[in-house]
């Protein structure tokens, strides 16, 4: 069994068409067909149903695909780690991040890191915290910013960098907009603008509201911070957002107010895999992050 055969098999399985897969691979169709046939002969099973020009995986072919895709990822990772061991300052870090950390945290950290390590590159992937956690566990990304930081997961290890308040966000003309602080129960009759299901921030808001005795009436759902701010600014509801998402924003059309009851906070940090060691460039970045936030926390910024 050759790596070339495996790569041809994966491409054909994804496209369900031999000639189109061959075009993507920049090889002759006959070469792809021959390698697939050799692979099936070696395994002693049919990996595909042939249906004219189209093909599709057999049940055993689908099982085989699931395993070889993991194997190819591990092989590519092994090549990367060997290269980075020899050249730690020229590696590439696959970094995940949630939408709530996209505007402030991610750019400031990467900018500071690149000043010290200009040759290390990044491949960025945005997603929800559950999506990013799965990607780290499966090896699709190397490490990920998350919030909150998990502390009881066996597959990933969390490192907390800071804790921040979650603030109430109100339209500027709201009757409570001039209050110095709020109790969350004061918003029990308001329409809420929240992240859609699957986002941890939505769960944070729901639990906080339930803690003081009500379920929020959800008027709108969004997938990014700017959308939620815009809907609040338009007077379509109120929301709760972390402090860091409000930095650098104009308060001309909305007002952020501290919530004193309950005490709504979240941890922010990074997760790394438990089942493998970080590559040298990843370790450089991880150690940089710990020092970077240690300095910020000591100076109270």
- Assigned token pair, 7: 């790569």
Q: Examine residue 139 and say whether the peptide bond preceding it is cis (omega within 30 degrees of 0).
A: no
Statement: the pTM of the whole predicted model exceeds 0.95: no
CATH number at residue 204: 3.40.190.10
What is the share, in percent, of the chain residues with pLDDT greater than 90?
58
Judge whether residue 83 has pLDDT over 80: no
My answer on whether 76 and 197 are in the same domain is no
Judge whether residue 301 has pLDDT over 60: no
My answer on whether 18 and 68 are in the same domain is yes
Find the domain containing 194 and state its range.
162-266
Angle between helices 3-15 and 18-25 (to 10 degrees): 130
What's the number of domains the chain is made of?
A: 3
By the 10 Å C-beta count (0-12 exposed, 13-18 middle, 19+ buried), 66 is classed as exposed
pLDDT band, residue 52 (cuts 50/70/90) = confident
Alpha carbon distance 282, 61 (integer Å): 35
What's the confidence (pLDDT) of residue 233?
A: 93
Does residue 95 contact residue 123 with C-beta atoms inside 8 Å? yes
Cα 240 → chain centroid: 21
pLDDT in tens, 137-157: 988 999 999 999 988 788 999
* Mean local confidence (pLDDT), 96-114: 90
Judge whether residue 4 has pLDDT over 80: yes
- Structural domain ending residue among the three candidates 84, 114, 131: 84
Phi/psi for 242 (5° steps) reads: -65, 150
Judge whether residue 248 has pLDDT over 70: no
């Amino acid at each position: 069994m050759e790596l070339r055969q495996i790569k041809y098999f994966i491409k054909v399985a994804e496209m369900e068409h031999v000639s189109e897969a061959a075009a993507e691979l920049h090889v002759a169709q006959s070469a792809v067909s021959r390698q697939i046939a050799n692979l099936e002969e070696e395994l002693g099973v049919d990996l595909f149903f042939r249906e004219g020009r189209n093909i599709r995986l057999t049940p055993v072919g689908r099982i085989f695909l699931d395993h070889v895709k993991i194997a190819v990822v591990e092989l590519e990772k092994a090549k990367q780690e060997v290269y980075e061991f020899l050249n730690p300052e020229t590696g590439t870090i696959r970094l995940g991040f949630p939408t709530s950390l996209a505007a402030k945290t991610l750019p400031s950290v990467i900018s500071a890191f690149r000043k010290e390590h200009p040759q290390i590159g990044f491949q960025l992937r945005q997603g929800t915290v559950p999506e990013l956690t799965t990607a780290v566990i499966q090896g699709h990304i190397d490490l990920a910013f998350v919030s909150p930081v998990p502390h009881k997961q066996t597959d990933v290890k969390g490192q907390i960098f800071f804790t921040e308040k979650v603030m109430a966000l109100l339209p500027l003309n709201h009757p409570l907009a001039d209050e110095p602080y709020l109790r969350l129960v004061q918003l029990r009759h308001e329409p809420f603008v929240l992240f859609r299901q699957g986002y941890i921030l939505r769960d944070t808001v729901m639990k906080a509201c339930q803690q003081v005795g009500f379920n929020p009436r959800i008027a709108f759902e969004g997938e990014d911070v700017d959308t939620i701010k815009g809907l609040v600014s338009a007077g379509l509801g109120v929301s709760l957002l972390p402090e860091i998402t409000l930095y650098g924003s104009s308060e001309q059309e909305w007002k952020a107010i501290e919530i004193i009851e309950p005490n709504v906070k979240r941890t922010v940090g990074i997760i790394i895999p438990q089942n493998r060691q970080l590559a040298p460039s990843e370790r450089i970045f991880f150690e940089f992050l710990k020092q970077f936030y240690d300095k910020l926390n000591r100076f109270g910024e």
